[in-house]
Chain A
Amino acid sequence: MNTRQKNSLEYRKNRWGWFFIFPGVLFFVTFSLYPVLNAIWTSFHNKKLLSLKPPRFVGFQNYVQVLNSQDFWNSMRASAVFCIGVFVPVFLGALLFGILIAERRRGRRFFQMALYSPAILSSVVTASVWLLLFDPRGLANQFLNALMGTPGIDHHWLSDPAMVQISTILVYVWKTIGYYTILFVTGIGKIPSSVIEASMIDGANAWQRLTRITLPLLRPTMALVSVMIFISSLKTFSTQYLFTQRGAPLAPINVLTLSIYRTALTDQNLGKASVMSLILFVILLTLSWLQIKAGGRGEDLE
């Protein structure tokens, strides 16, 4: 077969590529690309939900309004508190559990599955279970009182502005820590055993092995996990929604996603909601960019 014939065959074959990707591409254009462009357009217009009036171009007015509104900055604060409040315990906890599980020879699978099991529950079910645990007469109070020796005290898990933030964070930590533990176990598993054996022959003890070998080589996984925790906790919605439905104060836990939902549906102000959703997009974009960089460093390891 000469090259020209082969090339034309290759060419004919490769045209099929478009055939296979066409339905997928159509989907992403309709359900991702178009809505994003539409959101950008809406953010420059005065548009009300269920209003028959044609939307009016208002320039940057929505942006100015959002950036000057206390509600928006309160939501940024609520989201920041939530993300950091989730990040610290989840990251440290998952790292610790990951290391401990990876060190074990028996029961690795059991521990991973047990820690992961809360992640299987859907977030609404999780929220409804914890609603009852946080009841004034519920287990959370009983447990904390037993721990601190203060019988009969109500810690107002769902009504105190500070406590309700801690409660939502607790729920999320409980739900997600197992997932990141698995990521760390996988990451540690990928450290070449030759490196570890070499360090043992050189006389490193367990502590040295951890601080000089495991942790430095785990840095790509750590970077990846950090970004993933931030991205996913920025998107939290169900817990905050269900807790406020049951009478928890809104302002302390009015995270960005909840605020976007309420601005669009309750206030029916689509322009402002679009601005907020684009700000969320930019934040996530920055984080994703960090994630790609973290992933890129992961390749250096191989």
Chain B
Amino acid sequence: MKNGILVSPFRRSILMHRTGNLLALAVLVTACLVALIPFAFMLGASLMPGTDVTTIPYRWIPEKPLWSNYLRALRGQDGSWIYLRNILNSFIVSSSVAVSSVLLASLTGYGLAKFDFKGRDVVFMAIMGTMMIPFETVMIPLYLTAVKMGLQNRLIGLILPFLTSAFGVFLMRQYLLGFPDELLDAARIDGCTEPQIFRSIVFRNASPAIATLAILAFRGQWDNLLWPLLIVQKDELKTIPLYIVRFTSEMSTDEGAMMAVAVIAALPVFILFFTMSKYFLRGAGIYTGSKT
């Protein structure tokens, strides 16, 4: 139903309605342009010599694409190719966290959603309570513990504090609450053990929630700067955010290569976004969705 036409059949109001629509479209298109322009800048600049990046007036399209920026981005100032190693580190850390998040959160979420044991609600409330603790508050004690345990400059030290998250438990519990009990009971009557039921029935049928959680967890660590900054000093153990920090301070005049570093860092998450945008948007909408 076209808005307004039904209730105000006068030409003037139709005209007003049309201009309103056009105005709304103009606002949205402008907003999208502003959102996308820095991407265009980033891509263009990654193929320009540094002097062109800050030229006045700025030319958006590089005259001749300078692919060597990407080579320098990967090779680094000292020719050690350390970025490749750092990208691998980011992949290892982010994927490990994604896998363990999903495993631990679905186990815990399943236990909280489908079993009625003493103290369950207290445990659930306590875990939800930890969601309010900012990482900055636990950061210093965790750091001291990590130092004591010799986890500095080790990838496992980057993974351990993020093995799972309260939000993940919440997500899995909410999802599994809706899982049909009849299915579980049928499996029990058929003689399945509880771990079998979890593995072959619950876990296999929770893929939408699992995908959403895995993406959230992966991105969280792909993005993490604060904790690696504390834990890792050795160049070969750094992750992408730390490499960017180092590159921007060491090679500050090589703006083209700086943007090439940024494009390379952004690429995997963008591929993830375009192939699985459904789960991204669901992840974004979970807060309001969960309140139903």
Chain A residues with CB under 8 Å of chain B are 10, 13-21, 23-25, 27-28, 31-36, 38-39, 42, 93, 96-97, 100-101, 103-104, 111-125, 128-133, 135-139, 142, 174, 177-179, 182-183, 186-187, 190, 200, 203-206, 220-221, 224, 228, 234-235, 237-238, 241-242, 245-246, 256-257, 260-261, 264-265, 270, 273-274, 277-278, 280-281, 284-285, 288, 295, 298-299, 302
Q: Is the CB of B54 within 8 A of A32?
A: no
A42 to chain B, nearest CB (A): 7
CB 8 Å contact bits of B252-292 with A (1 = contact, 0 = none): 10010011011001100110010001001100110111011
Q: Quick one: which of A31, A122, A139 has the most chain B CB within 10 A?
A: A122
Residue A116 contacts which of B1, B225, B281 (CB distance < 8 angstroms)?
B281
- Residue in A closest to B36 when the chains form the complex, CB atoms: A114
- Residue in A closest to B105 when the chains form the complex, CB atoms: A24
Residue B117 contacts which of A18, A118, A136 (CB distance < 8 angstroms)?
A18
Could you write out 15 A-B pairs with CB less than 8 Å apart?
A14-B115, A17-B117, A28-B166, A32-B133, A36-B133, A39-B137, A42-B141, A97-B31, A128-B244, A133-B41, A142-B58, A183-B288, A242-B245, A246-B249, A280-B136
For chain A, what secondary structure do more than half of its interface residues adopt (helix, strand, loop), or is it mixed? helix
Residue A35 contacts which of B1, B120, B142, B241 (CB distance < 8 angstroms)?
B142
Contacts of B42 in A (CB 8 A): 129
How far does the alpha carbon of A295 sit from the alpha carbon of B174 in the complex, in Å? 15
CB 8 Å contact bits of B168-211 with A (1 = contact, 0 = none): 01000000000000000000100000100010000000000000
Chain B residues with CB under 8 Å of chain A are 1, 3-4, 6-8, 13, 17, 20, 24, 27-28, 31-32, 34-36, 38-39, 41-42, 45, 53-58, 104-105, 107-108, 110-112, 114-117, 120, 123, 126-127, 130-145, 160-161, 163-164, 166, 169, 188, 194, 198, 219, 222-223, 225-226, 229-230, 240-241, 244-245, 248-249, 252, 255, 258-259, 261-262, 265-266, 269-270, 273, 277, 280-281, 284-285, 287-289, 291-292
Residue B226 contacts which of A118, A183, A224, A237 (CB distance < 8 angstroms)?
A237
- Residue in A closest to B226 when the chains form the complex, CB atoms: A237
Q: Is the CB of B142 within 8 A of A224?
A: no
A19-B194, A120-B273 given as contacts; is B39 within 8 A of A241 (CB)?
no
Residue A288 contacts which of B132, B140, B141, B269 (CB distance < 8 angstroms)?
B132
Q: Quick one: which of A113, A123, A246 has the most chain B CB within 10 A?
A: A113
How far does the alpha carbon of A39 sit from the alpha carbon of B53 in the complex, in Å? 46
For chain B, what secondary structure do more than half of its interface residues adopt (helix, strand, loop), or is it mixed? helix
Contacts of B269 in A (CB 8 A): 120-122
B222 to chain A, nearest CB (A): 6
Q: Is the CB of A278 within 8 A of B116?
A: no
Contacts of A17 in B (CB 8 A): 111-112, 114-117, 120
Q: Is the CB of A20 within 8 A of B38?
A: no
Q: Is the CB of B285 within 8 A of A245?
A: no
B215 to chain A, nearest CB (A): 10
How far does the alpha carbon of A270 sit from the alpha carbon of B240 in the complex, in Å? 28
Contacts of A114 in B (CB 8 A): 32, 35-36
How far does the alpha carbon of A117 sit from the alpha carbon of B41 in the complex, in Å? 15
Contacts of B255 in A (CB 8 A): 132, 135
How far does the alpha carbon of A220 sit from the alpha carbon of B289 in the complex, in Å? 12
B271 to chain A, nearest CB (A): 11
Q: Is the CB of A122 within 8 A of B108?
A: no
Residue B35 contacts which of A117, A265, A288 (CB distance < 8 angstroms)?
A117
Q: Is the CB of A28 within 8 A of B291?
A: no
A97-B31, A261-B226, A284-B134 given as contacts; is B115 within 8 A of A129 (CB)?
no
Residue A274 contacts which of B34, B107, B140 (CB distance < 8 angstroms)?
B140
Contacts of B188 in A (CB 8 A): 13
A14-B116, A34-B141, A245-B245 given as contacts; is B281 within 8 A of A174 (CB)?
no
A96-B27, A139-B41 given as contacts; is B141 within 8 A of A38 (CB)?
yes
Q: Quick one: which of A115, A120, A178, A228 has the most chain B CB within 10 A?
A: A120
How far does the alpha carbon of A259 sit from the alpha carbon of B108 in the complex, in Å? 35
